[in-house]
Amino acid sequence: MKKIFLTLLISGITIAASAQGYRNPVIPGFNPDPSVCRVDDDYYLVTSSFHYFPGVPLYHSKDLVNWEMVGHVLSRESQLALPEARSWGGIYAPTIRHHDGRFYMITTNISSKGNFIVTAEDPRGEWSDPIWIDMPGIDPDLFWDEDGRCWYTGSGNDGIIQCQINPLTGEKLSEPKMIWYGTGGRYPEAPHIYRKDGWYYLLIAEGGTEFGHGVTIARSRSVDGPYEPAPHNPILTHFKQATQTSPVQGTGHADIIQAHDGSWWIVCLGFRTQGGNHHLMGRETFLAPVSWGERSWPVVNGSGDISLEMSAETLPQKPFESRPAREEFDNPAPALPSSTMASTGLGPEWSWIRNPDPKRYMITDGYLRLFGSSAGLDAVSESPTFTGFRQQDIDFTAETHLKLCKARTGDKAGMTVFMDSGAHYDAYLVKKGNDWYVCVRYSMGAIEHIEEIPVRDNDVYIRITGEEEFYKMWFSEDGKKYNLIGTGNTRYLSSETVSGFTGIMIGLWAQSASEKSWADFDYFEYKGM
C-alpha cells in the first residue's frame, strides 16, 4: 500500500537537552509572537499565523523546553475569516491565559473585524466562536486583577492603551486610557501585564520586528498607571555591539511565565540569520531564564540576550516521543468534528493559505490527493490548492513522489519553497499536449523564470534541499538517481527582500485550468540535516 512518510519536528518537537542546558529555538520555524500560560505543571503556548489556516498554532509542554503541537485555536471558518489576506494580514499576536477554570485566547484579525476573544475549558478541544471587542489597535492582552476585574491592554495610537472589559461578552466597562508610550523605540506593542510583590509590571516590545527589536518593562502601584520604566531597559535585545555577530537576531515580543518550581522564564521571538544577515524561516520561539527577586526588576539570562546553546538549569526534562516516518494516509490524524479541514485527515503541522476549499484535499487509498484549481501559487485573494509545513532547519532535505491524473494541457503539481505569493521556488510536473515535463520556476515579484526537462510520463520524484545560501531542486524518474534541475539563492526569498511577517513553508500543490485533474502524492519526507 502507498504510504506518506513524514519526519517533522514541529508537530512532536524533541529537543536534546539535560537539566543543565537546552537548544534554542525551542519551537523552530515560523512561530512568532509567542504567548504562554501554565496550569499546574502543564504549559500551553500560542503563536501568530497571519494569512494561514487554521489559525493560532497551539503547543503543549511539561518543561518549557520540549513542545508538542496539539492543534490550533482557530480551526473553523466561523472563527477565522481571511478574505484576501496576504502575508501582512490575518492573525496578529495572540495572548493565551487561564482564569477560573477556563482558557482565554485574545488576538487581532486585521483582515476582518479586529480584536476578539475565544474561550475553551479544554485547550485541545473546540474553542468558542469569536467575542468581538470594540477596541482599536493590535496585540491585545488579558489580565485579571486580584479583585476579579479583567483588563484589556493593547497597542494603538503609538502607545499602550487599556480598559476594563467583560471577557465573556466583550463589553467595555471603562473608558480606554493611554498608560505608557514606551521608552522611545518605534512601534511600542505586544503588552503583557503581571502582578508581583505589590507591583504591576507592564512588558512591551519596541523597535519593530527587524534587527532593532527589543523588550522593555515598566511598573506601577496601580494597574492603570502611571508606569515608570526600568533603569536597565531594554531587558532583552540583540541590537547591541555584544550580539552584533550572533546568529540570533531580532529578539523581542515576549511573555514571562513562572514555572511550577518557582523559577521564572521568558519566551520571545527571534530569527536565525543565513546567507549574509538574511532570514527565511520567519521569527521563531526562543526561551531564556529570568532572575526576578522580590520587589526587583526582571533580568533576562543575566545579560539581556540569548543564544542557540543555553547553559541554564531547566526544569526536569520531559521530552515527547519523536514522530518517526508516519503513515498519515493509512491512519488519518484525528481532528475536531467541526474543524473546517477535518475531512483531509492531515495532522496539525499542515497549513493552508487563506480559507481553503476542503473538497480539494483528501486522503484516499494511501495517497494525499490534491484536486487542482485555477488559482496558482501567485494568487493574492483566492486559496490555491496548497498545503505546507514550516521549514525548521537551514539545512534540510524534502522529498515526495507524485502522479498527475486525468491531466490536460497546462495542468501541474509539485513541491514549492513558499515565502509569499510573489516569492517562491517551485519544482513540478506539467503536461503539454501529449508530453510531460519537469519544470523549475523562480518567482520573485515581477521576475519569473521557468526551465523544463522532458520526462517519460506522469510519474516523478521531486526533492528540494536547503542550505545556507541556496535551495536546490532535483527530480528522478525512478526514485534512485536524482538530477539537479535548479538552484535558487536563499536571499531572494528572505524577509529582508520580500517583507511580510511569515516564514518559508515547504508545500505540496496542484493547479488545473480545467479543475478536473488531481495529483496523488504517495509520500512526503522532511529531514533536518
Name the residues annotated as catalytic. Answer: 33, 189
Q: Are 286 and 250 in contact (CB under 8 A)?
A: no
Distance CA 269, CA 516 (A): 43
Grid coordinates standing for 36? 504562554
List the one residue out of 457, 479, 308 whose CA is nearest residue 394: 308
Distance CA 282, CA 285 (A): 10
End-to-end CA distance of the chain: 28
**Other beta carbons within 10 Å of 402:** 26
Q: E-assigned strands of 293-434?
A: 299-300, 309-310, 352-353, 361-364, 367-371, 385-390, 396-405, 412-420, 423-432
Distance CA 189, CA 181 (A): 9
Q: What does the DSSP assignment read for 417-428?
A: EEEETTEEEEEE
**Other beta carbons within 10 Å of 327:** 15
State which amino acid sits at residue 105: M
Distance CA 486, CA 463 (A): 11
Tell me how many degrees the CA angle 66-67-68 measures, rounded to the nearest 5. Answer: 135
Rounded to 10 degrees, the C-alpha dihedral 131/50/259/37 comes to 10
Q: Are 141 and 223 in contact (CB under 8 A)?
A: no
Distance CA 377, CA 505 (A): 12
Q: What does the DSSP assignment read for 35-91?
A: EEEEETTEEEEE---BTEESEEEEEEESSSSSEEEEEEEE-STTT---TT--TTSSE
Distance CA 189, CA 137 (A): 9
Q: Are 186 and 207 in contact (CB under 8 A)?
A: yes
Q: What does the DSSP assignment read for 147-200?
A: TS-EEEEEEETTEEEEEEE-TTT--B-S--EEEE--SS-SS-EEEEEEEETTEE
Q: What does the DSSP assignment read for 437-471?
A: EEEEEEEETTEEEEEEEEESSSEEEEEEEE-SSEE
Residues 6+ positions from 516 with CB-CB distance below 8 Å:
406, 408
Reduced 3-state DSSP string for 127-154: CCCCEECCCCCEEEEEEECCCCCEEEEE
Tell me how many degrees the CA angle 26-340-523 measures, rounded to the nearest 5. Answer: 60
